[in-house]
Structure 1
């Protein structure tokens, strides 16, 4: 059974304008929690991309059902290889930042999901104080993290009570796009950073070269109805500077899962969600994911913009 998600019209979170142009319409092609149609718009004032209307925050349990990837056993079996690869890749991307953390440094992973990255950080740097924040932790996940000495904060970021002692590093991997109030949420995190503390963000990039292939409905970066705000390099940098952060680096990253989600969406938009073709483009198809990772890596080498980006910024 599917449910209807209660949604409300909203203004641009970038500049407050009500004027916008529809750029895409689509459905929840991944979890099929609802048959509702959703639309992505581009602000006529500043060019920001956002979901409008967007689900009310009270609809979290419908947007993120029990079988949502980081809440369930969806990545068991062969797909566990993807989880291990993902952890290795994330550790490599964080290595330079983590290496500069002081002994006993404090790290917060916002939107930590099943906590795999925090557990990997615990193994790499046992001296660090680690905390994970997410709106929901299954009991098994909570128990696993607490056994590792990792603090757990269970609440939406917009309402979370953060520890008083500041953090040296805050990580937001594929999270800012899920926020109802990205600017205010970032301001809260900046206040929670130590002087010279860093914020590391990874998020989809609307300038990705592959978005043009699926722009009208199926691009995986839309991730209907969970991605509420999307950025390119310029708009993300503007937001980070606006909340008191200085940009240290921005770079393109491979986006193999966005490719997979795009293909899933395209098949379903054309043939329906029960089409057997969609099974070819699932997260368990490791060779396909590896192929898209290679394709995007080659695109980056040729200075193309991909559908995934990283920004490292410092409190100023």
Structure 2
């Protein structure tokens, strides 16, 4: 039995779906399961925005009988500027993380970058959806920068400017709204993105149409099968990232979603992510009323915690229980 299956079986039935009051201080809309489109299930977790304090509204994640996990209600389009403030970590990652953390992150992600490079030929095109400040593609290109065409999708104006300063061709706006060229990219990267969008299936279908023959998409997302997801599951798990994560996946539901979007999964593997452990502890301490202390002790960029939680994640990787999950997929038949 997978950890995810055990988790699903042990989740106690929550209140009826109709009992959920929408938050009064945040513009919201109804959410539904990405896999089946239904609005039913049991309560998985609830909480406010522990990380950026953009809302005190308690929003709730639901587990659908089909296995999908979704946020309902969720922030509406009108709330996006609020829940992604200018201080959001991805918009200026390099400056916020600092030199030591970037070196640590570079060592930890070297194998992942090497894997990306195998799917990106000389003269190829790469697209990073939700590129932030563009640092990932710059790292990926390395010494081959001159032979590659690097594209990003980003809606934060500050992040767009930072990515353009690094030489990326940036498609401004949300992935749901931008127009992507057909059959254009050898490699598409979607790191910590699919969980943020209202309709993950439609987004994956758009990405599938943008792939060249033989092209691949890499999808990285929080792993509901992880050990820390089970430990902090009711409220504090860093992978919930409330109120910004609208959908969450595990080793069964992510490939199922890809197939329904016209993609064929070819590989699925656990990824080390010590930051979710740090953020989970931050959320727990914040909920005890010690927000300032939590910010000081458990910043996701705190180098004191990166090493020990990386070791924890390396142990869990052998069991498939890491905080993140990576799927590699190519174009396939819609099911």
TM-score (norm 2): 0.86
> Which ranges of 4 or more aligned residues in structure 1 deviate by more than 3 Å?
74-80, 87-91, 141-149
Which residue is 2:111 aligned to? 92
Structure 1 residues 67 and 164: CA distance shift in structure 2, 3 A: same
**Equivalent residue in structure 2 for 1:226, among 234, 239, 244:** 244
- Shifted more, 127-136 versus 74-83: the winner is 74-83
Give unmatched runs, 5+ long, in structure 2: 1-23
Which residue is 1:124 aligned to? 143
- Shifted more, 49-58 versus 96-105: the winner is 96-105
Which residue is 1:285 aligned to? 302
Map Cα deviations across residues 28-73 of structure 1 (whole Å, 9 max, x no partner): 11101111111111012x111111111112211111011111225x
Task: Map 1:147-158 to 2 at 5 A.
Answer: 147-158=165-176
Structure 1 residues 299 and 113: CA distance shift in structure 2, 3 A: same
**Equivalent residue in structure 2 for 1:213, among 226, 231, 235:** 231
Task: Map 1:1-316 to 2 at 5 A.
Answer: 4-44=25-65, 46-72=66-92, 76=95, 79-126=98-145, 127-138=147-158, 141-164=159-182, 166-269=184-287, 271-274=288-291, 276-301=293-318, 303-316=319-332
- Shifted more, 190-199 versus 80-89: the winner is 80-89
Q: Secondary structure at the match of 2:157?
A: coil
Map Cα deviations across residues 121-155 of structure 1 (whole Å, 9 max, x no partner): 232322111101111131xx545543543201110
TM-score (norm 1): 0.91
Partner Cα distance (1:13, 1:100) in 2: 28
How many angstroms does 1:120 deviate by?
1.5
Partner Cα distance (1:287, 1:88) in 2: 16
Q: Is the 8 A contact 1:174 1:203 kept in 2?
A: yes
Q: Is the 8 A contact 1:170 1:199 kept in 2?
A: yes
Q: Is the 8 A contact 1:24 1:217 kept in 2?
A: yes
How many angstroms does 1:175 deviate by?
0.7
Map Cα deviations across residues 8-43 of structure 1 (whole Å, 9 max, x no partner): 222212101221211111111110111111111101
Partner Cα distance (2:85, 2:273) in 1: 24
Give unmatched runs, 5+ long, in structure 1: none
Partner Cα distance (2:67, 2:161) in 1: 43
Q: Is the 8 A contact 1:252 1:305 kept in 2?
A: yes
Partner Cα distance (1:97, 1:292) in 2: 25
